[in-house]
Amino acid sequence: MSENCPVDPASHTTRPRRAAGPRTARATDPRFDEILASANDAIISIDEAQSITLFNRGAERIFGYSAADMIGQPLDRLIPERFVARHAGQVRDFSATPEASRMMAQRGEIYGRRRDGSEFPAEASISKFRGPDGLVFTVILRDITDRHAAEQMLRGAHDELEKRVRERTAELEERNAQLQQEIHERRRAEKQLAEQARELARSNADLEQFASVASHDLQEPLRMVASYTQLLNRRYRSRLDADADEFMGFIVDGALRMQRLINDLLAFSRVGSRGKSFQPVDLGTIVAAALGSLRAAIEESGAHIRVGALPVVHGDPTQMEQLLQNLIGNAIKFRKGPEPQVHIDARREDTLWRIDVCDDGIGIDPRFSERIFVIFQRLHTAAEYPGTGIGLAICKKIVERHGGHIDVRSTPGQGACFSFTLPDREEPPHA
C-alpha cells in the first residue's frame, strides 16, 4: 500500500492525502466514521477505475480482509471470477444512467468471494456521486447466506408438504368411503336409539309410579312408628325412667329424619319428570315467596336479607322457588353468629343471567366446592347442622334442567357465594 494512503483505524478507510475541501471535511467527520464502524453491512466505495477507496469493518467481517489489505485493490478481488466481466460492465452501464442508486439484485443474483475463496449470496445496493476526482461508487452489501439457507429449507418443506397433501388426499378418499359406511351404520344406530328412548320414557313412567307407591309404603310405617312412640311417651312418661324417655326421643327423631329423606329423594327424582312447563318467571316475586316460607328461620336467626334487582326469566316457577329457598335456607343455617347477612343479586353475562346468593357464614373449603353438589355428600354431621345432604343436589339438578350451571366461591370462615346461571331465552334446552 502506498505511503500516501494511510489507514484510519477508527473508520477502517484509507484516504489519499489532499488539500482540504468539502469532501475531505465530510470524510473526517467523526460521526461519519462512527456510522461506518458500527454498520453490520459491508460498505465499500470504488473510484471510476473500480479501485477500492473505502472498506468498513462490516466489509472486513464479511469478506475476511482488512481495510489495509483492500484499499487501492481492484474490486474484482471480492467477486467470483465468473461474474467479474459482467459486474464491470454493469458498473459502467450504471455510471452512464441518470439514476443515483439502484438495487443490484435487479440485475440478477449477486455473489461475493471471501478471502478463503468461498462464495456467498449477497443483497446489495449501489449509489454514485461525483466528487472532485470524478465518480465515486458506493456499495452497501449484506451477506444473506442464512436467508438463502432458510429459503432452501422452506422450498424443501413446501415439497414435503405437497407430498404429504397427495398422501393425505389418498387417505381421505379411502376414509370417505369408510365414512359412507359409517353413516349407514349410524343411521341404523339412531333408529335403535330412538326406540331405546321410547323404552326409557316408558321405564321412567314406571319408575315414577314405583317411587310414588314406594314413598307411600315407606312413609306409612314411619308415621306409625313416630305416632305410637309419641303416644307411648305421653302415656307412660311417669312409669318409665329417664333413659326410656331419651330412647323414645331418638326413635321419633330417626323416623322424622327418614321422612325428610324420603321426601327429599322424591323431590330429587321428580325434578325432571314432574317439572312444569316453562313460562316467564319474575325472580323478585319468587324470592319474596321463598322468604315467606323461611320467615320462622329468618326471625329466629335475626338474618338480614338484602335483595337486589332481579330479572324475569323463563323457567318452572315452582322449581325456581325451591332452588332459591334451598340456597337462602342454607345461608341462614350455616351462619357463624347471630344476625347473618344474606345478599341476593343478579347480573347480565352475554346471553345469560347470573344469580348470586351470598352470605357471611362459616364458608366452605374450596376442596369441597364440587363435592357438595353430589347427593348425600355432607361436610358436617347431622348433630352440627340438620339436613339430608340432598338439597344442593336438587339445586344442581334444577339449574341444569333450566340449561344453566351452578357453582360456589368461598373461603372458610368468610362466607360463601352460590352462583347459578339461567339462559336469557324463552325455551331452555332441557325444558
Q: What nine digits make up the cell of 338?
A: 347471630
CATH match of 275-423 with 3.10.110.10? no
Does 21 score more than 50 pLDDT? no
Contact between 222 and 259 under an 8 Å Cβ cutoff? The reply is: yes
Q: What pLDDT score was predicted for residue 257? A: 60
DSSP SS3 for 390: coil
Higher pLDDT, 332 or 95: 332
Q: What pLDDT score was predicted for residue 256? A: 64
Tell me the C-alpha distance between 389 and 100, whole Å: 88
Contact between 330 and 389 under an 8 Å Cβ cutoff? The reply is: no
Cell 447466506, residue located: 145
- Tens of pLDDT, residue by residue over 50-92, are 899 999 999 999 999 999 999 999 999 999 998 888 887 778 8
The angle subtended at Cα 270 by Cα 264 and Cα 275, nearest 5°, is 125
E strand or H helix that includes residue 430: none
Tell me the C-alpha distance between 227 and 224, whole Å: 5
Give the pLDDT mean for 11-31.
45
Cell 345461608, residue located: 331
Select from 3.20.20.70, 3.30.450.20, 1.10.287.370, 3.40.309.10 the CATH code of 7-143: 3.30.450.20
Task: Please give the backbone phi and psi of residue 206, each rounded to the nearest 5 degrees, phi first.
Answer: -65, -40
Range with the largest mean pLDDT of 103-107, 112-116, 264-268, 424-428: 112-116
Mean pLDDT computed over every residue of the chain? 79
- Tens of pLDDT, residue by residue over 179-219, are 899 998 889 888 888 888 777 667 656 656 666 665 666 66
Query: Among 370, 300, 369, which residue's Cα sits nearest to residue 335?
Result: 300
Give the pLDDT mean for 97-101.
80
E strand or H helix that includes residue 243: helix 242-273
Q: What pLDDT score was predicted for residue 354? A: 94
By CB neighbour count within 10 A (0-12 exposed, 13-18 middle, 19+ buried), where does 377 fall? middle
- Tens of pLDDT, residue by residue over 256-281, are 666 665 665 666 566 655 667 889 99
Give the pLDDT mean for 331-341.
87
Give the pLDDT mean for 106-120.
83
Give the pLDDT mean for 133-158.
90
Residue 162 C-beta-side C-alpha neighbours within 13 Å: 5
- pLDDT band for 2, please (50, 70, 90 cuts): very low
- Tens of pLDDT, residue by residue over 358-399, are 998 888 888 877 888 887 766 655 556 666 677 888 899 999
Higher pLDDT, 371 or 308: 308
- pLDDT band for 19, please (50, 70, 90 cuts): very low
Task: Please give the backbone phi and psi of residue 103, each rounded to the nearest 5 degrees, phi first.
Answer: -80, 125
Give the lowest-confidence range in 15-19, 393-397, 419-423.
15-19
The angle subtended at Cα 371 by Cα 302 and Cα 346, nearest 5°, is 50
Query: Among 128, 134, 114, which residue's Cα sits nearest to residue 49?
Result: 134
Higher pLDDT, 19 or 243: 243
Please, which residues have CB within 8 angstroms of residue 401's CB and are 6 or more apart in sequence? 271, 272, 275, 316, 319, 428, 430, 431
Q: What pLDDT score was predicted for residue 4? A: 35
- The CATH 3.30.565.10 portion of the chain extends over 275-423
Tell me the C-alpha distance between 44 and 26, whole Å: 16
